[in-house]
Amino acid sequence: MPLATVNGIALNYQVKGDRARGTDTKGGGPLVVMIMGTGSPGRVWELHQVPALLAAGYRVCTFDNRGIAPSFDAAAGMRIEELVADTAALIELLDEGPALIAGTSMGARVAQELSLTRPELVRKAVFLAGHGRMDQFQQVLSLGENELDEQGIKLPAKYEAAVNAVMNLSPASLADPNTARDWLDLFEFTGGPVAPGIRAQRRMDHSFNRLQAYRGITVPCLSVGFADDRMIPPYLSREVADVIPGARYLEVPDAGHFGYLERPEAVNKILLDFFAG
- Residues involved in catalysis: 105, 229, 257
Instruction: Report residue 134: phi and psi, to 5°.
Output: -110, 140
- Pairwise CA distance, residues 68 & 10, whole Å: 11
Query: Do 99 and 122 meet the contact criterion of CB atoms below 8 Å apart?
Result: yes
How many Cα atoms sit within 13 Å of 146 on the Cβ side? 14
Query: Do 251 and 229 meet the contact criterion of CB atoms below 8 Å apart?
Result: no
DSSP string, 141-199: HHHHHHHHHHHT----HHHHHHHHHHHHS-HHHHTSHHHHHHHHHHHHHH--PPPHHHH
Query: Do 120 and 217 meet the contact criterion of CB atoms below 8 Å apart?
Result: no
Instruction: Report residue 224: phi and psi, to 5°.
Output: -120, 125
- Pairwise CA distance, residues 81 & 70, whole Å: 20
Query: How far from 60 is each of 32, 83, 98, 240, CA to CA, in Å?
Result: 5, 19, 13, 25
Task: Work out the end-to-end distance of the chain between its first and last CA atoms, rounded to an integer number of angstroms.
Answer: 31
How many Cα atoms sit within 13 Å of 139 on the Cβ side? 9
